[in-house]
Amino acid sequence: MATLLEVRSLTTEFVTRGGVVRAVDGVSWDVAEGETVALVGESGCGKSVSALSVMRLVAAPAGRIVSGQVFFKGRDLLALSEEEMRRVRGREIAMVFQEPMTSLNPVLTIGRQLTEGLEIHLGMTRGGARQRAVEVLATVGIPDAARRLSQYPHQFSGGMRQRIMIAAALACNPALILADEPTTALDVTIQAQILELMRDLSRRFGVAMLIITHNLGVVARYADRVNVMYAGRIVERGSARDLYRRPRHPYTLGLLRSVPRLDEPRRARLQPIEGQPPDLTRLGPGCAFAPRCTFRVERCRVERPVLAPADGEGHVTACWEAARVAGAPALA
Amino acid sequence: MTDNGALLEVRNLVKHFHVGGGLFGGAPGVVRAVDGVSFAIRRGETLGLVGESGCGKTTTGRCILQLERPTSGEIVFDGQNLTKLDDAGLRRVRRRMQVIFQDPYSSLNPRMTIGQILAEPLVVHGLVPDRAAREARVGELLRHVGLLPQHAHRYPHELSGGQRQRVGIARALAMEPALIVCDEPVSALDVSIQAQIVNLLEDLQRQFGLTYLFVAHDLSVVRHISDRVAVMYLGKIVEIAGRQALYEDPLHPYTRALLSAVPIPDPDVEARRVHVVLGGEVPSPLNPPAGCVFHPRCPIAVDRCRSEVPVLREVKPGHWAACLLA
C-alpha cells in the first residue's frame, strides 16, 4: 500500500509555567492508504499532540510546531497556507474526539452540523447536503435519520453522539480519520459497537485510520501497526502481532505485564511499572524511561537510545538493552 | 441471602429520583436508579459491583454511605440498621465506612497541603487531639500508602494522578474504617499506575482487615480484586456469584455480553474470538421495559421475557441470576 501520511521528525513544544515542554520530540511515523495505525501511550506522552500537530490545531501561542514535516499525499501540510489547510481539514483528513459533547455545538441541530461541512467543502446545495447527511447518519446506524436531523446534541445518548461525530467525519469521504480516544468515554458494550462500526466503515470505504488510545485491548483488536509513545518519543513500533508477541522495549513489556487479562488465569499479584511518568520539563540526557526501567544500565542515564531494528518486519525499538528485553518472559 | 459473617447487608434497596415538573418543565417522572437491590459483604471480603453508566452502581454505593437517603429498603452495617439511626448515631457509624473516589484531584482541597488534608478528619472526629501525635499519624498514613513523610508539605497539584489517589486512600485509612467503598478508584489513572493502586488496595486489605465494595466498569480489574462480583443493569442486580463462577460460567446473557465486549490485549486471541456485540443501548431508567429489563437487547430473549419479571434466584450454589432462561 502506498504511504498516505508521513510524519517526519515532528517536534511540538508548549510554553508552561514550569518551562518549555517538548510534548512531541522529533517523532516520525506513517500511515498507508486504508491502514489502521495506533498511537499508544499514557497521558502526557504526546499522542494527542501528535494528531493535533498533523491537523495544525495546536493551540497558539502556548503551543508551537517547532520543526518537522507532515506529508499527506505528497504535500507538506506544515508548508500550506491557513486557507489551503482549511480545505484539508474535514475534507481530506477528519478527526473524531473522545468527548463528542464538547466537539458538537450544543445550539446547532445535528443536521446543520453535518451539512455545514458539505456545503463549504464540497459546494453542495442545501438539499444535496441534507440528503448526504441522512445517508451518513444511516451508515453509522442512527435509525430514523431524516427526522433526527432537526434534533440537538443533548437529545442523543453518548454512544449516539459518537456515531454522529463519526458520521460528520465520514461525510466528505476523507482519506484519513484521526480518532483520539474515540471510545474512552463510552461504556464497554457501546465501545464494542463503535469500534466495530469504525472498522467496518474503514474497510468499506477504504479510509485509513489513526487510533490514539491508552487501551491495549482496543489496539490488539483493531490496529494493523502500533507506535508506542513515552515522554514525547516513539519508543517502539511494529506490527500489532510482533509488538504483542515480541515486545522489545521495557516500557511496552511493562504495559503488557501490568494489565490483568480476562483470557488468562487470575494472577496472585499485578505487575505494575513502578515509579511515576517523568516531568517533561526536567528530562535528562538519557532514556526518559530509565528511572522506571528494570533493564537499566549505566549507559541509559547518559545516552538517549534511538530507534533500531528489532526482529520482525518494520519492528523497531529505542532501547540499548533490547537483546535482554527479548529474553524476558511475558510475565516476570 | 442472609449471612451471619456479613459486615454489610443491603436489603431490598430502592432509590428513586423525581425529575421534571419544575420551572423548566419536562414531564414529571421517576428515575428508578436502584430498584430492589439485595446483597451482603462478609468481613474482609471484596465485592465487585459492575455495570455500565446509569445502572445504579454508584447510587448503591452512595446509599450505603448514607450520602443518599434510600427511598426504601434497609442497610445493616455491623449489626446496626443505618436507615433507623439518628444523626448522632449515623456520625459514629459513618467514620467506619469510608470512600475512595474516581478522581482524586476533585476530591482533594487544592488550598490545603497533603498533611492538612490528612490531619483534618483526625481533628474533626477527635481521633488524635495531640498535635505532635497527629503529625506522627500523618507520617504513618503516608508510609502505609507508599508516599514519603515529606509529601505532607506538598499541595495536590504537585503530585501525579497516582500519588493523589494514594492520598485519597490515606485519607480513608485515617478513620480506621471497617468498610471502604471504592468508586472507580483506578479508572482515571494510567494503565501502568492502575496496577500499583490495585496492589496497594490488596496490601492494605490484608494489613488492616478491610472490607471493600469495589464499584467499577473495568471487568478485568474487577476480576482481579474481587472475591465475589455483582452485575447490575438498569437498577437491578442481574447476576451475583463468586469471582470464578461469574467469569468462567456466566449465567446471565448480559454478563456474557459484557465479558465478550472486553478486548483482550493480544492480537492473536482477538483474531480468534467470537464477539457478542449487543445491539441498542441501555433504556431510560425513567421508563424501564416491562418484563425483564434486559429483554430488548437480549440475544436469547423469548416471548415470556417481555411480560414476566425474572427474580434473582440461586441457580447453582452461591450463584444467583435473574434470567428466566438461566
Beta-strand pair B211-216/B46-50: parallel
Residue B321 has pLDDT above 80, yes or no: yes
| Whether the model pTM is above 0.80 | yes
In a domain, B104, yes or no: no
Q: Does B199 touch chain A (CB under 8 A)?
A: yes
In a domain, B326, yes or no: no
In this prediction, residues A319-323 reach a mean pLDDT of 96
In this prediction, residues B47-52 reach a mean pLDDT of 94
The answer to whether the CB atoms of A263 and B266 lie below 8 A apart is: yes
Q: What digits encode the pLDDT tens for the residues A204-219? A: 999 999 999 999 989 9
Are B186 and B51 within one domain?
Answer: yes
pLDDT for B25: 61
The answer to whether the CB atoms of B266 and A219 lie below 8 A apart is: no
Mean pLDDT (chain B) is 92
Between helices B161-174 and B191-208, what is the axis angle to 10°? Answer: 20
Domain that holds residue B316: 6-21+28-96+177-321
Among candidate residues B133, B159, B176, the one where a domain is terminated: B176
pLDDT bracket for residue B209 (50, 70, 90): very high
Provide the shortest C-alpha distance from residue A84 to chain B (in Å). Answer: 38
pLDDT bracket for residue B26 (50, 70, 90): low
Among candidate residues B126, B141, B176, the one where a domain is terminated: B176
Residue A42 has pLDDT above 60, yes or no: yes
In a domain, B247, yes or no: yes
Give the N- to C-terminal CA distance of chain B in Å, as an integer.
19
Question: Chain A contacts of B281, Cβ < 8 Å?
Answer: 157, 159-160, 190
Q: What digits encode the pLDDT tens for the residues A101-155? A: 778 999 999 999 999 999 999 999 999 999 999 999 988 888 888 999 999 998 8
In a domain, B102, yes or no: no
Q: Among all residues of chain B, which has the CA nearest to that of A188?
A: B261
Give the burial class of B17: count Cβ atoms within 10 A of its Cβ; 0-12 exposed, 13-18 middle, 19 or more buried.
middle
C-alpha cell of residue B199: 496492589
CB within 8 Å of A90: residues ≥ 6 apart: A117, A121, A172, A174
The answer to whether the CB atoms of A244 and B265 lie below 8 A apart is: yes
Provide the shortest C-alpha distance from residue A330 to chain B (in Å). Answer: 12
B246 in Cβ contact with B49 (< 8 Å): no
pLDDT for B318: 96
Residue A157 has pLDDT above 90, yes or no: no
Q: Among all residues of chain A, which has the CA nearest to that of B187?
A: A184
Q: Does A277 touch chain B (CB under 8 A)?
A: yes
The single-letter code of the amino acid at B124 is V
Q: Among all residues of chain B, which has the CA nearest to that of A196?
A: B277
CA nearest to A259, candidates B198, B112, B122, B325? B198
Are B89 and B219 within one domain?
Answer: yes
Q: Enter the DSSP assignment of B34.
A: E
Are B166 and B209 within one domain?
Answer: no
pLDDT for B22: 64
Q: Does A192 touch chain B (CB under 8 A)?
A: yes
CB atoms within 10 A of CB B275: 15
Q: Enter the DSSP assignment of B171.
A: H
pLDDT bracket for residue A288 (50, 70, 90): very high
Residue B3 has pLDDT above 60, yes or no: no
B70 in Cβ contact with B63 (< 8 Å): yes
In a domain, B43, yes or no: yes
Are B186 and B314 within one domain?
Answer: yes
Mean pLDDT (chain A) is 92
Are B298 and B196 within one domain?
Answer: yes
Q: Does A256 touch chain B (CB under 8 A)?
A: yes
Cα angle A121, A125, A127; round to 5: 125
pLDDT for B24: 63
Provide the shortest C-alpha distance from residue A91 to chain B (in Å). Answer: 30
The answer to whether the CB atoms of B263 and A220 lie below 8 A apart is: yes
Q: Does A216 touch chain B (CB under 8 A)?
A: yes
pLDDT bracket for residue A29 (50, 70, 90): very high
C-alpha cell of residue B310: 425474572
pLDDT for A189: 83
Distance CA A49, CA A24 (A): 7
Question: Chain A contacts of B199, Cβ < 8 Å?
Answer: 269-270, 272
In this prediction, residues A84-98 reach a mean pLDDT of 92
Are B120 and B137 within one domain?
Answer: yes
Question: Chain A contacts of B265, Cβ < 8 Å?
Answer: 216-217, 219-220, 244, 256, 259, 261
Question: Chain B contacts of A160, Cβ < 8 Å?
Answer: 281
Looking at per-residue pLDDT, the higher value among B231 and A156 belongs to B231
pLDDT for B132: 93
Provide the shortest C-alpha distance from residue A222 to chain B (in Å). Answer: 8
Distance CA B37, CA B73 (A): 9
Q: Does B160 touch chain A (CB under 8 A)?
A: yes
Q: Does B194 touch chain A (CB under 8 A)?
A: yes
Question: Chain B contacts of A276, Cβ < 8 Å?
Answer: 160, 162-163, 193
Phi, psi angle pair for A28, to nearest 5°: -125, 130
Question: Pick from A214, A261, A263: which is nearest to B190 by CB?
Answer: A214
The answer to whether the CB atoms of A187 and B163 lie below 8 A apart is: no
Give the count of alpha carbons within 13 A of A314, CB side only.
14
The answer to whether the CB atoms of A241 and B258 lie below 8 A apart is: no
pLDDT bracket for residue B46 (50, 70, 90): very high
The answer to whether the CB atoms of A276 and B162 lie below 8 A apart is: yes
* Domains held by chain B: number: 2
Q: What digits encode the pLDDT tens for the residues B116-127? A: 999 999 998 888
Q: Enter the DSSP assignment of A222.
A: H
Are B243 and B158 within one domain?
Answer: no
Q: What ipTM does this complex have?
A: 0.87
Are B87 and B216 within one domain?
Answer: yes
Please report the beta strands in A17-165, taking only residues with DSSP state E, as ranges in sequence order.
19-32, 36-40, 63-72, 75-76, 93-96
| Residue written as grid cell 496492589 | B199
In this prediction, residues B289-315 reach a mean pLDDT of 95
Q: What digits encode the pLDDT tens for the residues B244-289? A: 999 999 999 999 999 998 989 999 998 888 877 888 888 888 888 9
In a domain, B1, yes or no: no
CA A139 to chain centre: 23
In a domain, B105, yes or no: no
Residue A202 has pLDDT above 80, yes or no: yes
CB atoms within 10 A of CB B38: 18
Are B169 and B208 within one domain?
Answer: no
Q: Does B193 touch chain A (CB under 8 A)?
A: yes
A68 in Cβ contact with A8 (< 8 Å): yes
Are B186 and B39 within one domain?
Answer: yes
pLDDT for B1: 46
CA nearest to A303, candidates A290, A316, A313, A314? A290
Question: Pick from A188, A266, A272: which is nearest to B196 by CB?
Answer: A272
- What string of DSSP letters covers B54-75? TSSHHHHHHHHTTSS--SEEEE
Q: What digits encode the pLDDT tens for the residues A63-80? A: 999 999 999 999 999 999
Provide the shortest C-alpha distance from residue A231 to chain B (in Å). Answer: 14
Q: Does A214 touch chain B (CB under 8 A)?
A: yes
Are B44 and B183 within one domain?
Answer: yes
Cα angle B62, B64, B69; round to 5: 70
Question: Chain B contacts of A43, Cβ < 8 Å?
Answer: 161, 190
CATH number of the domain that residue B316 is part of? 3.40.50.300
Distance CA B3, CA A315 (A): 56
The answer to whether the CB atoms of A245 and B219 lie below 8 A apart is: no
Distance CA A167, CA B97 (A): 46
pLDDT bracket for residue B4 (50, 70, 90): low
CB atoms within 10 A of CB B48: 27
Question: Pick from A188, A240, A256: which is nearest to B217 by CB?
Answer: A188
In this prediction, residues A310-315 reach a mean pLDDT of 91
- What string of DSSP letters covers A157-189? -HHHHHHHHHHHHHTT--SEEEEESTTTTS-HH
| Residue written as grid cell 454508584 | B58
In a domain, B103, yes or no: no
**Number of Cβ pairs closer than 8 Å across A and B?**
132
pLDDT for B2: 47
Cis omega (within 30 of 0) for bond into A61: yes
| C-alpha distances in Å from residue A249, one per residue of A43, A228, A238, A326, B73 | 19, 9, 11, 8, 54
Sign (positive/negative) of CA torsion B125, B127, B131, B135? negative
Residue B21 has pLDDT above 80, yes or no: no
Are B73 and B215 within one domain?
Answer: yes
Among candidate residues B125, B160, B176, the one where a domain is terminated: B176
Q: What digits encode the pLDDT tens for the residues A225-277? A: 999 999 999 999 999 999 999 999 999 999 999 999 999 999 999 999 999 88
Provide the shortest C-alpha distance from residue B239 to chain A (in Å). Answer: 17
